[in-house]
Amino acid sequence: MSLSTSDVIHMLLGVLTIAAFVYFNRQLYLSDWNGGASLLESGYYLVAVAALVIGWYFNLQYMSTYGNEVGWVHWTQLLFANPASASGGQDLIFANVILLPLWTISEGRRCGMRASWWYFPMSLLTSFAFAMALFLAAQQRQHRWNERRSVSA
């Protein structure tokens, strides 16, 4: 399977959203904090990577199979190709387009996370499960970072 220019651009934009995530949350990952990853946080990272790799695998197959038809509208139409996929498709759309932004923005602000709105655009270029798992990992780290700051203050 060869990658088209648009495939490469889509993947690069996805990688850029991940780089922006690291930039927005750099205070949580600085070596002088020495917070390390908890077991739960590590589990979230593992799920994030698996979701990203598996999701991109199938998206690349989609792009390879459908050629000129590829696009958000076509991809979304395929979610409703039959009642079983429509059930999952509507869940994905409601969870990703409505619930993820509401949840990450409100919960992110509550615990002091930077740019908590960023997980939604990231989900569109990587995967919903990846963005959700990355949010949960960063949230865990933010809670531990907040606790250490309050103890040392």
What are 59-97's pLDDT values in tens digits? 889 988 998 888 889 999 999 999 999 999 999 999 999
User: For residue 1, is pLDDT > 70?
Assistant: no
What is the structure's pLDDT at 36?
80
> Does residue 153 fall inside a structural domain?
no
DSSP string, 94-133: IIIIIIHHHHHHHHHHHHT-TTGGGHHHHHHHS-HHHHHH
User: For residue 31, is pLDDT > 70?
Assistant: no
Number of folded domains in the chain? 1
- Count of H-run helices and E-run strands, the chain: 8, 0
153 pLDDT band (50/70/90 cuts)?
Answer: low
Asked if 104 contacts 120 with a C-beta cutoff of 8 angstroms, the reply is yes
What is the structure's pLDDT at 130?
97
What is the structure's pLDDT at 67?
85
> Does residue 152 fall inside a structural domain?
no
The tally of CA atoms less than 13 A away on the side-chain side of residue 8 is 5
What is the structure's pLDDT at 60?
87
Torsions phi, psi for 2 (to 5 deg)? -100, 150
For the segment 133-148, the average pLDDT, to the nearest whole number, is 93
**Average pLDDT of the residues of the chain:** 91
Domain limits for position 60: 5-147
What is the structure's pLDDT at 58?
93
> Does residue 52 fall inside a structural domain?
yes
> Does residue 93 fall inside a structural domain?
yes
